[in-house]
Amino acid sequence: METGVLVDLIKLIVGIGVLVKGADTLITGASGLARRIGVPEFVIGLTLVAFGTSLPELTVNVQASFQKASEITLGNVIGSNIANILLILGIAGLIRPLTIHRTFVKKEIPLNFLSILVLFAMVSDRLLDGSSLSFVSRSEGLVLITTFVGYLYFLAAFLERENVDKDGTEMGLIKGGILIAIGLVGLVLGSEWTVSGGVNLATALGVSQVIVGLFLIAVGTSLPELLTSAVAAYRGNPDIALGNVAGSNIFNVSLVLGASALVNPIPVPDRVFRDLSVLFVATLLLLLSNYMGRRYSVSRMEAGILLTIYVVYAVYSWYREIYP
What does residue 266 show for φ and ψ, rounded to 5 degrees?
A: -100, 120
Most confident region among 70-74, 150-154, 199-203, 244-248 by mean pLDDT: 150-154
pLDDT at 288 over 90: no
% residues pLDDT > 90 (the chain): 16
Q: Report the predicted TM-score, pTM, of the whole model to 2 decimal places.
A: 0.78
**DSSP 3-state assignment of 265?**
coil
- pLDDT tier at 280, thresholds 50, 70, 90: very high
% residues pLDDT > 70 (the chain): 79
Provide the residue range defining the domain that includes 136.
3-322
Domains identified in the chain, total number: 1
Its sign, for the CA torsion 80, 255, 113, 123, is negative
pLDDT tens digit sequence for 219-235: 777 777 677 677 767 77
pLDDT tens digit sequence for 168-200: 556 677 887 788 788 778 877 877 787 778 778
Buried b (16+ CB within 10 A) or exposed e, 140-161: bbebbbebbeebbeebeeebee
CATH of the domain at 201: 1.20.1420.30
Q: With contact defined as beta carbons under 8 Å apart, do 159 and 45 qualify?
A: yes
Mean pLDDT in the chain?
78
Q: State the average pLDDT over residues 302-317.
A: 91
- pLDDT tier at 45, thresholds 50, 70, 90: very low
